[in-house]
């Protein structure tokens, strides 16, 4: 199965992707996680991406398309969920062209819908494990011990770009450049699953699993 998860920053894409990929044995391909790993490793791509990520803007399309097509090829035949990509119509077109060439197609687009008012609280309360990538929230999804990863990795951290100023830029970027991606898939008559993501995490997961079940998965 090949899925795309769409939604604004803080919609719960990473959280839900983890649950979907565990249930169905798929690869989780998060453009944000891959970019953060490139930065941590000090690669050329990581250095190029840094200023865009710190300000809440988008990394240039050509860099992202190459990076994600490479990740898709690596995932091989087991299927995947794309998280955070495509984020512009140009990226969606680049993905389509590569899939067509490989004779593949996306099975469904899962669109997580959350109003802007719910986002700031989710982002500023987000805490992540720099080692294993697990994501928590100081109120909505607390770790067992405050500030520590449940998997014994050590201290959790707050992403630098989850500050209120950068979150507000990221939301602006989302409305200006990313919201149009859903319209692109609607025009292409892709199978779109719209999910109310403004409800507790378990209920969002349930709604996604029910919808995927209807696809015969
Ligand atoms: P995204 O990948 O879309 O940016 P995340 O999955 O990282 O979003 O979630 C952002 C933050 O909001 C995290 O701290 C997460 O624990 C929390 N969160 C995710 N889904 C929900 C939800 N349905 N209700 C409340 N908080 C949520
Ligand atoms: P979130 O999980 O909150 O939606 P991400 O971790 O996906 O945030 O992305 C963090 C940052 O990485 C973005 O603000 C952007 O600068 C960059 N980024 C991630 N994915 C893409 C993409 N597909 N295109 C351009 N920039 C991206």
φ and ψ at 196, to 5 degrees?
-75, 105
Q: How far is the CA of 10 from the centre of ligand 1 (A)?
A: 5
Tens digit of pLDDT for each residue in 76-120?
788 999 999 999 999 999 999 999 999 999 999 999 999 999 999
- What are the boundaries of each domain within the chain? 2-115+165-213
pLDDT at 158 over 90: yes
Taking each continuous run of H as one helix and of E as one strand, the counts in the chain are: 9, 7
- CATH no. for 2-115+165-213: 3.40.50.300
pLDDT band at 166 (very low <50, low <70, confident <90, very high): very high
Query: Residue of the nearest CA to atom 20 in ligand 1?
Result: 12
Least Cα distance to 6 among 208, 216, 209 occurs for 208
Choice from 28, 29, 33, 35 to test ligand 2 binding pocket (greatest atom count within 8 A of CB):
35
pLDDT at 217 over 80: no
> Using CA atoms, how far apart are residues 135 and 126, in angstroms rounded to an integer?
7
Q: What is the predicted pLDDT for the residue at 215?
A: 85
What would the mean pLDDT of 187-204 be, rounded to a whole number? 96
Residue 127 designated active-site:
no
Whether the predicted model's global pTM rises above the 0.75 cut: yes
φ and ψ at 112, to 5 degrees?
-90, 120
- For residue 138 the two structure tokens come to 């100081």
Handedness of CA 21, 27, 29, 35 (dihedral sign): positive
Residue 13 designated active-site:
yes
Query: Residue of the nearest CA to atom 19 in ligand 1?
Result: 12
- For residue 103 the two structure tokens come to 């004779």
């Amino acid at each position: 199965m090949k899925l795309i998860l769409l939604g604004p920053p803080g919609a719960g894409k990473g959280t839900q992707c983890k649950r979907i990929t565990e249930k169905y044995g798929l690869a989780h391909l998060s453009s944000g996680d891959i970019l953060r790993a490139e930065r941590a490793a000090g690669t050329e791509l990581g250095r190029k991406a840094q200023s865009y990520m710190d300000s809440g803007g988008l990394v240039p399309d050509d860099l992202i398309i190459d990076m994600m097509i490479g990740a898709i090829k690596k995932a091989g035949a087991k299927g995947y969920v794309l998280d955070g990509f495509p984020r512009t119509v140009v990226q969606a077109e680049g993905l389509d062209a590569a899939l067509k060439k490989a004779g593949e197609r996306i099975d469904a687009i899962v669109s997580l819908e959350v109003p802007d008012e719910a986002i700031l609280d989710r982002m500023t309360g987000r805490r992540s494990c720099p080692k294993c990538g697990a994501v928590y929230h100081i109120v909505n999804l607390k770790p067992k011990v405050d500030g520590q990863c449940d998997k014994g990795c050590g201290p959790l951290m707050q992403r630098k770009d989850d500050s209120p100023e950068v979150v507000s830029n990221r939301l602006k970027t989302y409305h200006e450049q990313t919201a149009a991606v859903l319209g692109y898939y609607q025009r292409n008559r892709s199978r779109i699953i719209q999910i109310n993501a403004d409800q507790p995490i378990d209920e969002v997961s349930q709604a996604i699993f029910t919808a995927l079940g209807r696809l015969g998965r």
